[in-house]
Copies of this chain bind each other. A is one copy, B any other.
Amino acid sequence: MATSTTLATSSIATAIDMPPKSSLHRRKPSEHKAHSSTRRTKDTKYRHVFATHSLPRTSCLSQDSDTLPSFIGFRNLMILVLIVSNLRLMIVNLQKYGVLICISCHDYSRSDVVTGLLLYLLVPAHLFVTYLIELAAAWQAKRAYARISKEDDNDTPAKYAAALRSFNYTWYIVAAFHSINATMNLYIATKYVYYDIYHPGIGTMCELHAVIVFLKCASYALTNRDLRHAYLHPKQADPLPELYKTCSYPQNINMKNLCYFWWAPTLVYQPVYPRTDNIRWSFVFKRLAEVAGLSIVVWIASAQYAAPLLQNSLDKILTLNFTSIAERVMKLSTISVFCWLCGFFALFQSALNALAEVMRFGDREFYGDWWNVHSIRTYWTTWNKPVTNFMRRHIYSPLVGRGVPPAVAQIIVFLFSGVLHELLVGVPTHNIIGVAFMGMMIQIPLIALTDVIQKVKWIQGKVAGNMIFWVSFCLVGQPLAALLYFFAWQGKYGSTSKQIQESPAMHIFHRR
């Protein structure tokens, strides 16, 4: 009996949607007869007459429709089309070039590696010089503190002004030493990378290392300057963060504390950091495996796909064929955004988390969800939190504190960032052509643009802002910059360098 009911209901209501398992065996006419009175409207013997069209309904994509259907299936289709079309390009690439990946062969010279290793060992020495300067300053501060303590406690404004003058005088000397030390660090590294390291990969690593140490030195010096001021003027001082109480100035000026800062995954010096209780070694190894895996993926992608693409776009730039350059940039953009995402994850998620775990460093917020940003401003404050934190604490915030308008302070931050970017890209490729610097500078009008656009409601401003970010940064900015530096590199060192030097494109570079 149940069979008949199930069958009858299902045959009309759900029909071929899903075969009811209970009705897979034959239906007996007697059962039908018995139920026809109770479930007449559904269990009819007239199979060909039921009203398929019984109610007015709208098409689900019509504007008349009350609710739009979900489009989640199209997301899946997009993923598949992306996979399939890139798989196809990989087949074409293999058919055209064969396997370009070679494990045993390398293109770096012995002298590059030696210079690189020497720089790697020498650069941190500047951090220790910074430490020595601070040690001297702390010694002087301790003496000053003892002298102040002996004197009367009733601080008059005149006395305070005198003390401040004395403090500032000492600070100018300390700052001069720090500046010389930090600048020498950058200068030496840049000089060796630019003149002695041919391989851009090794060069980038050395330059990056020098920039990190430079920023760490600056943060160590500036933070300790404020800590020293608070130490010497306990009455006039603003309160320091609670966290620092366990290691106040000048106790923090010690070798162990410095070494922790040296290796900690941050560019901002604090006497005390939030710490975790223990090191989860399985976590560390998983993150290191991710770094290794992603590095291999990026290496294969660059060697097999990006390299020939860059190579065969040379003649397009040579003849300034703009349609073809656009085509090359477009093709390069997919591989560049892929490498960028892999590299981002490998560095900011895997490597920094592994380092933080080993250092028991508690604050793992190395990045925010920058992929969802609606404004380019937010992108620059979320993708690289270590640098953002440095810029905010040691450049933007002090400038604004001294009365500089925030907009101007921002421009100064971008100027400084632009110089660092040019150092990191232009120096290792031996072409300080200013593209990386200009790339950072162009962010300022773009920020203004997305700030306006994300507020526009009728064009879904937030989506538009996000799209502008992706287009400007990943689909145009990065591949175009890569192409230009590769072209400049080839012009200097490539086999077709003479041709490139005489090309109309090179004249544009030279005219600058």
A328 to chain B: closest residue by CB? B88
Mask: chain A, 68-95; 1 = CB below 8 Å from B; 0 = not: 0111111111111110110110011001
Interface size on A, residues (CB 8 A): 136
Cβ contact within 8 Å between A76 and B470: yes
A25 to chain B: closest residue by CB? B405
Known: A46-B238, A95-B323, A323-B95. A362 touches B53 (CB 8 A): yes
Of the listed stretches A16-24, A143-151, A173-181, name the one at the interface; the rest are far from the partner chain.
A16-24
Kindly provide the distance from the CB of A68 to the nearest chain B CB, expressed in whole angstroms: 9
Kindly provide the distance from the CB of A408 to the nearest chain B CB, expressed in whole angstroms: 9
Of the listed stretches A56-64, A187-195, A493-501, name the one at the interface; the rest are far from the partner chain.
A56-64
B residues in contact with A275, CB < 8 Å = 56
| In the complex, chain A residues 324-342 whose Cβ is within 8 Å of any chain B Cβ | 324, 326-327, 330-331, 333-334, 337
> How far is B48's CA from A268's CA once the two chains are assembled, in angstroms?
9
> How far is B52's CA from A394's CA once the two chains are assembled, in angstroms?
11
Is A511 an interface residue, CB under 8 A from the partner?
Answer: no
> How far is B17's CA from A380's CA once the two chains are assembled, in angstroms?
9
Of the listed stretches A116-124, A129-137, A207-215, A223-231, name the one at the interface; the rest are far from the partner chain.
A223-231
A389 to chain B: closest residue by CB? B52
> How far is B323's CA from A314's CA once the two chains are assembled, in angstroms?
29
> How far is B388's CA from A27's CA once the two chains are assembled, in angstroms?
24
Of the listed stretches A36-44, A97-105, A300-308, name the one at the interface; the rest are far from the partner chain.
A36-44
Cβ contact within 8 Å between A244 and B51: yes
> How far is B59's CA from A348's CA once the two chains are assembled, in angstroms?
9
Cβ contact within 8 Å between A230 and B46: yes
> How far is B413's CA from A40's CA once the two chains are assembled, in angstroms?
26
Cβ contact within 8 Å between A61 and B349: yes
Kindly provide the distance from the CB of A308 to the nearest chain B CB, expressed in whole angstroms: 16
Known: A95-B323, A345-B61. A53 touches B407 (CB 8 A): no
Of the listed stretches A396-404, A427-435, A483-491, name the one at the interface; the rest are far from the partner chain.
A396-404
